[in-house]
Structure 1
Amino acid sequence: MNLLCNEGVVKGQLDPNIYSNDRVLQSLLTVEDSFLPQATYFQNVQKEVQPCMRKIVATWMLEVCEVEECEEEVFPLAVNYLDRFLSLVQTKKSCLQLLAAACLFLASKLKSYRPISAKKLCLYTDNSITSQELLEWELVVLGKLKWNLAAVTPHDFIEHILLKLSLPKDRVTLIRKHAQTFIALCATDHSFAMYPPSMVAAGSIGAAVCGLQISCMESSVWGESVTELLAKITHIEVDCLKSCQEKIEQLLAHNLRESQQHKHPEGGANKKEVEPQSQSYTPTDVRDVNL
């Protein structure tokens, strides 16, 4: 008798009662700061781990999530664990990818209907770690974070903000997708680690709306800019939000320039053909961290 279920997994629909309730948004705003790293740990805690290493390993984490088609919430949550741990524990650079893998392991268990297996995570490190090490570090991370894993991330604010912006209904999906991309981009840059999640979410939505040149219906009615509306919704000072949004736009422009340079390197006439990669392949070589 075949007991296997071959039907696809159906994701639950968003509950409009949650996102239309101002008390839920207020609760998120009240507790979000408690999930931020305790300090700018590169100066105060870490001796070996540098910002460039954090960027390399965060980019690797993002690529693993993309290959595994994880839910959008998994990556920023995993990076939140990474930053909080590094703000508490002095970590050797040789253990950084192992720590990142443990954070991904935990975040995917919490947010994904199909968590990334320990075996796959080991493969994505080119077997530089073992399953036993991963399980041991999972417990270490849990202990240092005091099992407080339900962190507030920028994704928790997206639907609340979009619902209150009164945007054209046919553009909401596109704005949401762009904002999610910007949030992931911010998570790879350590300078956003101490920003409140609500500010990153509002700045990302603002950058998406401005980039797509979409007018906000409520904004036109009240004579306010989109940034002013976002600031009002999230209780953030307008100047602070403008600064965050500009920083997101600068980060996007910088990454686009880097991407173009990788696509069209000098001397490109002699480029070799790229061989097909195995399932365990991710482009970022985290061995650079140990150099």
Structure 2
Amino acid sequence: MEPQLLCCEGDRPARAYRDSNLLTDRVLGALLRAEENYLPASNYFKCVQREIAPYMRRIAATWVLEVCEEQRCEEEVFPLAMNYMDRFLSVEPVKKNHLQLLGAACMFLASKLKETIPLTAEKLCIYTDNSITTSQLLQMELLVLNKLKWDLASVTPLDFIDHFLSRLPVRRECRSILRKHAQTFVALCATDTNFIASPPSMVAAGSMVAAVEGLQLKMLGNTSMSQKLTEQLAQTIRSDPDCLRACQEQIESLLETSLGQARQQHTVTMETKNSGEGQDLSSTPTDVRDVNI
């Protein structure tokens, strides 16, 4: 039997372990100072874009998320891609039939920055049902880089999650599930236009509190810890506890709306299949092509 390199074994490339030495106050302070430099404009739909509406951005975001999930991208790729998209839309008008191309280019860049083996241009074109070409994707990539001034080291909510986890009175064995729930909330916020201009630290803190609430505070021991947690995280991100609480409630409301829409869509899909009429109405990665309808 021929010997093989350990790094070549397994379905996914090996990743470095999280370095606890980076979870310091100095690093957290640097993130808090830097996050404002990467915030998109909150009013770009009115002031910059003429054809792009909020619902179109939501469709594009859902498509990007579906591609990232199907390709098993690292969790940082999706929020980073959406940050690139929002920053680009803040400074450059885009035609509605170019929105999917922009989403693919932003995902392409984020994948290059965060993945050991990034997505290829050819694969992304296939996900658009070949409605774009590799040449168009590469041209859009250069345009995005130019408009973002090649500054791609954006701060996203995921950069704060481990910092917050290290400061919580949570058992080590519970941190994995808490991190997973918080990451889900972060991804959900990235699809919603109400969080476009929210500081990443606020979204991360709100997601963390919402995750703890969603797990019924079993990991923290008692309900009185919820208020203490909110106050602690608000102090950490230098914000008002009421603002953080409002962000948490907005995230929880978004989750309820999302789950309701998913159940409704599932019901319609099952009824359509049972009746034998029409086609599957479930969302597919190419639905974004119809964004101009």
CA apart distance, 1:282: 4.1
Q: Distance in 1 between matches of 2:206 and 2:164?
A: 11
Q: Secondary structure of the equivalent of 1:264?
A: helix
Q: Distance in 1 between matches of 2:109 and 2:3?
A: 32
- Matching residue of 1:160: 163
Q: Secondary structure of the equivalent of 2:8?
A: coil
- Matching residue of 1:11: 15
- Matching residue of 1:140: 143
Whether contact under 8 Å (2:125, 2:132) holds in the other structure is yes
- Matching residue of 1:65: 68
**Equivalent pairs: percent with the same residue?**
53
CA apart distance, 1:224: 4.9
Q: Secondary structure of the equivalent of 1:179?
A: helix
Whether 2:176 is the aligned partner of 1:169: answer no
Structure 2 matches for 1:81-120, cutoff 5 A?
81-120=84-123
Whether contact under 8 Å (1:56, 1:284) holds in the other structure is no
Structure 2 CA distance for partners of 1:69 and 1:203, relative to 1, 3 Å = same
**1:201-224 deviations in Å (ceiling 9; x for gaps):** 000010000010125659989895
**1:78-113 deviations in Å (ceiling 9; x for gaps):** 000000000000110011111111000000000111
Q: Which runs of 5+ in 1 are unaligned?
A: 276-280
CA apart distance, 1:274: 8.0
Q: Which runs of 5+ in 2 are unaligned?
A: none
Deviating more after overlay: 227-236 vs 143-152: 227-236
Whether 2:39 is the aligned partner of 1:53: answer no
Q: Distance in 2 between matches of 1:272 and 1:204?
A: 41
- TM norm structure 1: 0.91
Q: Distance in 2 between matches of 1:199 and 1:189?
A: 15
Whether contact under 8 Å (1:77, 1:107) holds in the other structure is yes
- TM norm structure 2: 0.91
RMSD: 2.5
Deviating more after overlay: 34-43 vs 281-290: 281-290
Residue in structure 2 matching 1:286, options 280, 285, 288:
288
Q: Secondary structure of the equivalent of 1:225?
A: helix
Whether contact under 8 Å (2:36, 2:199) holds in the other structure is yes
Question: What letter is aligned with 1:152?
Answer: V
Residue in structure 2 matching 1:270, options 271, 275, 286:
275
CA apart distance, 1:130: 0.2
CA apart distance, 1:62: 0.2
Residue in structure 2 matching 1:74, options 74, 77, 95:
77
Q: Distance in 2 between matches of 1:79 and 1:125?
A: 17
Q: Distance in 2 between matches of 1:167 and 1:209?
A: 10
**1:27-76 deviations in Å (ceiling 9; x for gaps):** 10011011001341001110000001000000000000001100000000
Residue in structure 2 matching 1:229, options 227, 232, 246:
232
Q: Secondary structure of the equivalent of 1:165?
A: coil
What is the aligned residue count?
Answer: 285
Whether contact under 8 Å (1:105, 1:116) holds in the other structure is yes
Whether contact under 8 Å (1:102, 1:137) holds in the other structure is yes
Whether contact under 8 Å (1:216, 1:226) holds in the other structure is no
- Matching residue of 1:130: 133
Q: Distance in 1 between matches of 2:204 and 2:98?
A: 31
Q: Distance in 2 between matches of 1:175 and 1:47?
A: 40
Whether 2:186 is the aligned partner of 1:183: answer yes
**1:106-151 deviations in Å (ceiling 9; x for gaps):** 0000011111100000000000000000001100000000000000
CA apart distance, 1:283: 4.0
Whether contact under 8 Å (1:42, 1:49) holds in the other structure is yes
- Matching residue of 1:242: 245
Whether contact under 8 Å (1:187, 1:193) holds in the other structure is yes
Whether contact under 8 Å (1:57, 1:96) holds in the other structure is yes
**1:151-185 deviations in Å (ceiling 9; x for gaps):** 00000000000000121222211110011011000
**1:195-244 deviations in Å (ceiling 9; x for gaps):** 00000000001000001012565998989522112112221110110110
Q: Distance in 1 between matches of 2:85 and 2:226?
A: 42
